[in-house]
Amino acid sequence: MRVVEKRLDKGYIVLQLETPDDLWILYTVIESGDIVASKTTREVKFEGSGESRRIPMNIAIRVEEVEYQQFSDKLRVKGVVVEGPDEYGVIGKHHALSMGIGSIVALYKEKWPRVLLNRLEKASSSRENVLLVAIDYEEIGVALLTNQGLQKLLELYSHLPGKDSPSFEEELENYLSKAADSIIELVDRHGVNVVIVGGPGQLKHRIGNKVLEKIHRKVLLHYDSTSMGGYAGLLELSKRDIVISALKDVELMKAEKAFNEFTKLLQISESMVAYGLREVEEAVISSAVKTLLVSESSLKTSNDEERGRLLKLIEEAYAKGSEVIIVPRGSSVEAQVESFGGVIAILRYSLMHREARS
């Protein structure tokens, strides 16, 4: 995501969407009542001729509904047109803006909560995209590690003959060359800076060396052992310490670490944690919250009153120096946080009345 223009004194930010993650982040930021503007097309009927055709135009709508599907390449924002070409009579009519990668979008809010600004700023700041590769003699799997988890990009099967076949080494070289070419193409397409290759034995080093020989841009290459290739190997690789090291800034890893601390404290010192909106509100008011975890899905709750309370809670936590982690949607950690009411906190000091929690 690229910030094209930011005028918070006027209430708006102009963004260019660059990745599938940007679509999801924008989905969580847009609220009912906001004004969103983008280039679009609209069916226009011409009086007299009876003809109609789609005309490109810039339109701003007051948002009524936002639609998003995970890993899709489109975000649809529906509402009533508040700005548009006068000659086409579009103002006051309903319209749906369809946005994808490459779209430029202006978003206006009467007030910008800090948590929503932080989400856009983090998405627009440079961070290393990480590609995971898991390879064995039967298959290779490649996935992008995103804030939503693993986004599978490639599965390639080798169909190699037995190792005692005279053609085995030649066909293995062809398999590795084809795989390396595919990896390089994905690195370029997704702007990847870090590649982590896993697999049994030395095969992972052979594919890594081929990538380094052929690639024309700088990437950091890491290796780790997995028991197999393909998607199962990717899942295994995604849980390794080397990935955590390479993804220090990825919110999911931070969320997993914080949630593990929360569950440990819950077992040994329950008064050092809080969970559920009411409890966490009390802890924030008491300046007791060290780390606040909020499920990403909670930011899109259909209950406007509850969303308002949640955003106010996060604003107050920021103001009191708490670390705030938005737990990525669809992750196993988010499901666990949701089971505690969608919001949990690790405390700076014990709130003794928590001991009485039933």
Distance (Å, whole) CA 308 – CA 314:
10
Residue 68, pLDDT score: 82
- Please report the pLDDT score of residue 244 as a whole number: 62
Tally of structural domains, the chain: 3
Confirm whether 23 is domain-assigned.
Answer: yes
When the pLDDT of each residue in the chain is averaged and rounded to a whole number, the result is: 88
Q: At 329, which CATH number?
A: 3.30.1330.30
Q: Judge contact between 5 and 13, C-beta under 8 A.
A: yes
pLDDT given for residue 249 in this prediction = 45
Q: Are 272 and 350 a contacting pair, CB within 8 Å?
A: yes
Please give the model's pTM, rounded to 2 decimal places. Answer: 0.60
Residue 59: give the domain boundaries. Answer: 2-113
Here the CATH number for the domain that contains residue 44 is 2.30.30.870
Does residue 122 lie in a domain region? Answer: no
> Are 113 and 314 in contact, with CB atoms under 8 Å apart?
yes
Give yes or no: residues 93 and 62 share one domain: yes
Residue type, 199: G
Same domain membership, residue 275 and residue 231? no
**pLDDT single digits (tens) 308-356:** 899 899 989 998 999 999 888 778 899 999 999 999 999 999 986 554 5
Q: How many Cα atoms within 13 Å fall on the side-chain side of residue 155?
A: 9
CA atoms within 13 A on the CB side of 101: 9
Below-50 pLDDT ranges, the chain: 126, 249, 355
Contacts of 235 (CB under 8 A, 6+ apart): 150
Q: How far apart are CA 168 and CA 274, in angstroms?
A: 60
Structure confidence at residue 275 (pLDDT): 96
- Kindly state whether residue 319 falls inside one of the protein's structural domains: yes
Q: Is the dihedral of CA 230, 234, 237, 243 positive or negative?
A: positive
Residue 120 in any domain: the answer is no
In a domain, 338, yes or no: yes
Give pLDDT, residue 231: 94
Q: How far apart are CA 40 and CA 169, in angstroms?
A: 54
pLDDT value at position 23? 87
Q: Is residue 155 part of a domain?
A: yes
Distance CA(137)–CA(204), nearest Å, equals 10
Q: What pLDDT, on the 0 to 100 scale, is given for residue 357?
A: 58
DSSP 320-341: TT-EEEEEPTTSHHHHHHHTTT
Radius of gyration over alpha carbons of the chain, in Å? Answer: 25
- In 3D space, the residue among 131, 154, 129, 127 whose CA is nearest the CA of residue 237 turns out to be 131
Co-location of 266 and 241 in the same domain: no
Residues 218 and 160 in one domain: yes
Are residues 343 and 294 in contact, defined by beta-carbon separation less than 8 angstroms? yes
* Residue-level pLDDT at 229: 95
Residue of 266, 304, 305, 267 whose CA lies nearest to 293? 266
